Amino acid sequence: MKKNSPRITMTKTTIDPSSLLSEVSDPKAGGTVLFIGTVRDNSDAGDVDRIIYDAYLPMAEKRMAEIEEEVMRMWPVRKVAAQHRVGELRVGEVSVVVAVSAPHRAEAFEACRHAIERIKHDVPIWKKERLADGQERWVEGKAMTTAEEVTGSPRTETG
């Protein structure tokens, strides 16, 4: 299933969303969806100045690759690319990008949505908010699903 050699990585440097669009470019694609996650200036804790992302890098890259395989298996997509930042990010900086190309828009939207939900919930990444008042707090997370569950059926989530 690796025929399209997608790029799924964790990165310590600035993400260029256009490079992911290039990665998923495909003559058999009629629709491409690009999701860009950015650091928001507020949370339920107050005004946010920075977010510091930490990750268990080798495990995170494995999980990202599993998510990509899952997406390729569940939808007739052409290519998937995703990158997630680690380190300290300012408001407005890009924290995560997912790009999916597919023959038609419906599967491109669905597959991209699925991939970002998985990345948010099932990859060992943690984030700490530094608030405008200088306080720091870890963002409340949830337990990852197991590898067996990851290979299961799609689920939809908000948040």
Partner 1 sequence: MPIRVKLLYFGQARDASGMEEEEFTLPDRSSAAVLLGESSAAHPKIGTMKRSIQIAVNEEIADPDRVLQEGDTVAFLPPVAGG
Position 120 contacts partner 1 (CB under 8 A): yes
Residue burial 36-56, b: 16+ Cβ < 10 Å; e: rest: ebebeeeeeeeebbbbebebe
Told to check if 82 binds partner 1 by CB under 8 A, we report no
Provide CB contacts within 8 A for 105, sequence distance 6+. 30, 31, 33
Q: Which stretch binds partner 1 (CB under 8 A): 12-20, 24-32, 54-62, 100-108?
A: 54-62
By CB under 8 A, name the one of 30, 146, 151, 152 that touches partner 1: 146
Question: Quick one: DSSP state of residue 28?
Answer: T
Given the rule CB under 8 A, which of 12-20, 25-33, 42-50, 144-152 is the region that contacts partner 1? 144-152
Q: Is 51:12 a contact under the CB 8 Å cutoff?
A: no
Task: Kindly state whether residue 66 participates in binding partner 1, applying the rule CB under 8 A.
Answer: no
Least distance (Å) from partner 1 to the CB of residue 52?
10
| For partner 1, the closer CB: 110 or 122 | 122
Provide φ and ψ at 143, rounded to 5°.
-70, 140
* Closer by beta carbon to partner 1, 68 or else 122: 122
CB of residue 79 to partner 1, shortest distance in Å: 21
116 binds partner 1 (CB under 8 A): yes
Q: Of all helices (H) and strands (E), which one includes residue 95?
A: strand 94-102
Contact positions vs partner 1 (CB under 8 A) = 37, 53-56, 58-59, 62, 84, 95-96, 116, 119-128, 138-144, 146-147
